[in-house]
Amino acid sequence: MKRKRRKDRRAQVEEDEDELGSGDREIVERSQSGFYGLDLGQGSYDVANRSRPRQLLAAAGQVEDWDGGSSAALSGPSVGHSGQRTELESSRSGFSFDSGGVGLGLEQNQTRRMPGSGPPGFSQGNTQMRAQDRRGHAFEMEDEDEDEFLWLPAGRHRYDKAVELGYILAVKLAWQHVFQDQTSVSNQIDEADWIWHSYNVLLGMQKEVLTAVASGNLSRLYRGHDNETVKAMFNEDSAWIEEGQGLAPVVYILCLVDSKDGCRAHTPAELRLVIEDLRHYGDMKWPQLTLKVDNAYRSISTMKDIQAGRPYFLAKSGKNRRIRTRYKAEDIKRFCDALELRPGRLPADERDAPLRRPLQYVGRALKFADGKAQHSRVEKSNWLIHLVKHVCNVRWPGRFSLDTFPISYQANDGEVQCAQMQLALIADSFAASGGGFNRAAPVLSGLDISNEDPRLVKGFWAEREEFRDVMGFGDANLPAQLAFEAEVTAVKDRGEVYDPSKGSEGTEDSRLRTSEEELAEDEAKLERSRAGLVARNAEGMEKLKRLTGAE
């Protein structure tokens, strides 16, 4: 379907802020007025037997900023298929956490949108035009049908903390993160189906792999020498990799890492250089740099292409010629704007070290071997991945490369529909957040097998289910997840609100929090004693000086 031409982004943001409906303001006011905790609802379900829940997790409240801000960005107007703005319904506001607690909400600056971004818009198809770069050089340009650069609320959601506490939190957080604010996405899937299938996707993953996706560097974990479980899982002769040689729906993660230095991520200083080159790429003032980037691995552009305003990564192939596209230059700018913010969020002692997570991409394929091979070809892969990779090869020849891993095989069509979006959010791999190369929202669709023999389809999914059971990750993960849900239920049965930062009485979280409070109290007493001793010592020294002067 053809898109409407994009509106001016700045004007769109101002329009959004002016059009906050009364329902939206009510949600914001509620989130500012006090604590809203997680309510897992009245229903129950048997995860162990994978039975369909009668009443799936209900929630109320609003995700709050971990440092006390409110989620104003989450409660703005959204755009549906018709392009008409709709007010959010409070029944879909997700769960909330006390700002003094663990903080699974937005990190900071939530009332400000991502630089250069706004709610999704649609163009009206291909329109050729004459355009100029900022220095007045004219070139042929085209608005083309391309997936919209995904808009995300400003800040960062704490999926690492959610995964650490309980998988169901990550699932609910994902629903609130994107689906609540974009009806064009949420209309594609029911909330109950999303919760059920996404939960089972996470339950069927190897725990250490999921943890690395959420908060670490999977490539470094695998290439290192301290995790034999993960190394065995991704070895070429393993059952996990063998499954990806045939037809088996899979979600994979691609990491851009320094293969010459332990598969580390970029340092903040290196990211600043990457951003600088990306901003100069395609600028007529920097033709040599642009040519070097295009030809970083093999010759794909000439100086004539560059001078005509058609560098490889800003153009598409037409009839025997390249045509420059508008959206690519816009997307590079948005990516750079978001990427620039990441080093500033780091603690002071981490600003000279490699980032914990590399730039990543989360994709899906019917056959992992084919998906991996596709990303090795610049003309068949995500163009933003290869643009950044080319920039890195110009700056640091032969160092940064792509590492690809299958992280989740899906066992039914519902999981295929949900898995890529859920894991891309957990991995923070969207270009809109500066975390990676996922430009657009993943397509929430299953396999197109409606015309196949139902018996073959049933047998296909039975094989996928059998493989998951053989791997046994779900059985290993289930006890801890059930214990977490039991803890939340126990709190709710007492008429209390679950606060993940505290834990219920008698739990490990609660005991740890009590110990920390006692330790803080002891340290305060010690500090008061030290201050008193210093004061008495100063007083004694003053008396001694007076006595010495008198003599």
At 517 the pLDDT is: 67
Asked if residue 158 belongs to a domain, the reply is yes
Asked if residue 397 belongs to a domain, the reply is no
At 22 the pLDDT is: 35
Q: Which residue has the higher pLDDT, 496 or 342?
A: 342
pLDDT band at 189 (very low <50, low <70, confident <90, very high): confident
Lookup: tokens for 506: 């008698």
At 149 the pLDDT is: 66
At 406 the pLDDT is: 98
Q: Are 230 and 222 in contact (CB under 8 A)?
A: yes
Specify the DSSP element, H or E, that contains 323.
Answer: strand 322-325
For residues 198 and 160, what is the distance between their CA atoms, to the nearest angstrom?
16
Cβ neighbours, 10 Å, residue 87: 18
For residues 76 and 73, what is the distance between their CA atoms, to the nearest angstrom?
6
Secondary structure class of 78 (helix, strand, coil): strand
Range of the domain at 46: 1-117+152-189
Task: Report the alpha-carbon angle 206-207-211, nearest 5.
Answer: 120
Tell me the percentage of the chain whose pLDDT exceeds 90. Answer: 41
Asked if residue 162 belongs to a domain, the reply is yes
Q: Which residue has the higher pLDDT, 228 or 59?
A: 228
For residues 38 and 36, what is the distance between their CA atoms, to the nearest angstrom?
7
At 209 the pLDDT is: 96
User: Which range scores top for mean pLDDT: 140-149, 225-234, 462-471?
Assistant: 462-471
At 544 the pLDDT is: 78
Q: Which of 31-45, 177-191, 220-234, 460-474 has the lowest mean pLDDT?
A: 31-45
Q: Are 151 and 74 in contact (CB under 8 A)?
A: no
Q: Which residue has the higher pLDDT, 10 or 121?
A: 10
pLDDT band at 187 (very low <50, low <70, confident <90, very high): low
Asked if residue 526 belongs to a domain, the reply is no
* Mean pLDDT on 38-56: 34
Decide the pairing of beta strands 85-86 and 315-317.
Answer: unpaired
Lookup: tokens for 206: 């190897």
Residue 395: closest CA among 217, 255, 269: 269
Q: Which of 156-165, 236-245, 324-333 has the lowest mean pLDDT?
A: 156-165
pLDDT band at 319 (very low <50, low <70, confident <90, very high): low
Asked if residue 30 belongs to a domain, the reply is yes
Q: Which of 85-94, 153-162, 495-504 has the lowest mean pLDDT?
A: 85-94
Secondary structure class of 317 (helix, strand, coil): strand
- Kindly report, residue by residue over 510-546, the tens digit of the pLDDT: 555 556 666 777 777 778 887 888 888 888 888 777 7
At 467 the pLDDT is: 97
Q: Are 131 and 139 in contact (CB under 8 A)?
A: yes
Residues 6+ apart with CB under 8 A from 71: 27, 28, 31, 62, 63, 64, 65, 105, 106, 110, 153
Q: Are 218 and 212 in contact (CB under 8 A)?
A: yes
Phi first, then psi: give them for residue 318, nearest 5 degrees.
-105, -150
Q: Are 240 and 373 in contact (CB under 8 A)?
A: no
Residue 141: closest CA among 325, 362, 314: 325
Q: Which of 35-49, 198-212, 252-266, 329-343 has the lowest mean pLDDT?
A: 35-49
Count of domains for the chain: 1
At 344 the pLDDT is: 78
At 67 the pLDDT is: 27
Q: Which of 60-69, 203-212, 435-444 has the lowest mean pLDDT?
A: 60-69
At 263 the pLDDT is: 94
At 345 the pLDDT is: 77
pLDDT band at 333 (very low <50, low <70, confident <90, very high): very high
pLDDT band at 150 (very low <50, low <70, confident <90, very high): low
For residues 210 and 204, what is the distance between their CA atoms, to the nearest angstrom?
10
Task: Report the alpha-carbon angle 112-116-122, nearest 5.
Answer: 110
H-only helix segments in 396-507: 413-427, 454-471, 473-493
Q: Which residue has the higher pLDDT, 203 or 18?
A: 203
For residues 159 and 396, what is the distance between their CA atoms, to the nearest angstrom?
32
Lookup: tokens for 536: 């008495």
Lookup: tokens for 533: 């001793």
Asked if residue 170 belongs to a domain, the reply is yes
Residue 410: closest CA among 280, 243, 530: 243
Residues in the chain: 551
Asked if residue 110 belongs to a domain, the reply is yes
At 524 the pLDDT is: 78
Asked if residue 7 belongs to a domain, the reply is yes
For residues 172 and 175, what is the distance between their CA atoms, to the nearest angstrom?
5
Predicted confidence (pLDDT) at residue 361 exceeds the cutoff of 90: yes
- Kindly report, residue by residue over 240-278, the tens digit of the pLDDT: 999 999 999 999 999 999 999 999 999 999 999 999 999
132 bridge partner residues:
138
Q: Which residue has the higher pLDDT, 197 or 505?
A: 197
The whole model's pTM is what? 0.67
Cβ neighbours, 10 Å, residue 372: 19
